[in-house]
Amino acid sequence: MSAERVDTLEFCRAARTRGELALATTVLDAAIAQVTAEDGATLATLLLERAELALAAGDVATADDAARRAGPLAEQAKDVALMAQAAWTVGQVTARQEDVERTRYWLGQATELALTAEAWTLALRAQRGLANLLQGTGDVAGAVARLEALASDATVLDLPIEAAACHLDLAQLALARDDGPATVRHMQEVLRDPNNLPPLLRGEAGLVRARLLVAIGDVQAAVTAVAEAVALLRLAGDQRSLGAGLLIQGQLLLLAGHGDQAGRALGEALAVTVRANLPERAVVEAVIARLGGD
């Protein structure tokens, strides 16, 4: 890949990290238009970044199109790591479409290809996705065992962000089981080095911390924690996580007796979920309906 294309990718990834999705999309679309199919690896790489941007914005259709265009290009280039990334991205799309069987297939493909290419970060991410599918099918014990093994693998491979992501999944599972000690233990692992975590992971960790504070009865501290988490999620730009954060913020503000602030947070949550066509919209609407009925 040319230095110019590398610079473009780095610029777009940095813009996405800052939440500047529109800017990154404009720059990336212009770059994609300039690359011919003959340079398959470069075009596939740009298309996969475009798919990531679309997923962050909640545009599943565009993400699906970009990821499926990228797959054959990666195969033609015989780039196994790129093929793994394409499979993983399609798996993210099918997960958003709530198609469990296709998600399992694509994440399985991504795992095999990533292990062949020794792309350890991607292999761990794909396997995390497969572990979380176990939870969705009711095998919580299997999900926990797999995530704990993956967290250990990530630590051995010196991939602290992936280890933190596994522990965050484990903390969420523990919190859902009302297992406070396990939640705290995993959150301590997540936040072992918080300054080196990306904003999205820090923001999602903040939401778990807020829910944990509510569970122990410290509602005011939870309100502060969720505000900090939402600020990070705005920075990260991922609309699904932001919508979830605003919903939790609205619920906590209601619990704390701040009705006006809760209404504003829930109104923004509704706007985000509508704009990004998220399934969480129904939950937000139900909470707002209850608020209006009180």
Structure confidence by residue, pLDDT tens digits, 24-70:
889 989 999 988 777 888 999 999 999 999 998 888 999 999 999 99
**Helix H or strand E segment including 219:** helix 219-236
Across 260-292, b (16+ Cβ under 10 Å) vs e yields ebbbebbebbbebbeebebebbeebeebbeeee
- Residue 229's Cα: distance from chain center in Å? 14
Across 74-105, b (16+ Cβ under 10 Å) vs e yields beebebbebbbbbbbbbbbbbbbeeeeeebbe
- CA-closest candidate to residue 270, choices 287, 258, 253: 287
Q: Any idea where the domains of the chain sit in the sequence?
A: 1-118, 121-197, 205-289
Q: How far apart are CA 54 and CA 29, in angstroms?
A: 11
pLDDT for 294: 58
**pLDDT over threshold 70, residue 1:** no
For the stretch 75-93, pLDDT in tens is 999 999 999 999 999 999 9
Q: Hey, which CATH number is domain 121-197, 1.10.375, 1.25.40, 3.40.1130, 3.30.70? A: 1.25.40
pLDDT for 149: 97
For the stretch 214-261, pLDDT in tens is 988 999 999 999 999 999 999 888 888 999 999 999 999 999 999 899
pLDDT for 4: 75
Instruction: DSSP letter for 196, please.
Output: G
Q: How far apart are CA 194 and CA 44, in angstroms?
A: 33
How many other C-beta atoms can be found within 10 angstroms of the C-beta atom of residue 51? 27
CATH topology agreement for domains 121-197 and 205-289: yes
Q: Hey, which CATH number is domain 1-118, 1.25.40.10, 1.10.3720.10, 3.10.620.30, 2.60.40.420? A: 1.25.40.10
pTM: 0.88
Is the model more confident about 146 or about 136?
A: 146
Q: What angle do CA 30, 6, 44 make, to 5 degrees?
A: 65
- Residue 192 DSSP SS3: coil
- List phi, psi (to 5°) of 181: -60, -40
* Cβ atoms of residues 47 and 66 within 8 Å: yes
For 248-283, the DSSP string reads HHHHHHHHTT-HHHHHHHHHHHHHHHHHTT-TTHHH
Of all residues in the chain, the percent with pLDDT exceeding 70 is 98
Instruction: DSSP letter for 198, please.
Output: -
- Write the CATH number of the domain with boundaries 205-289: 1.25.40.10
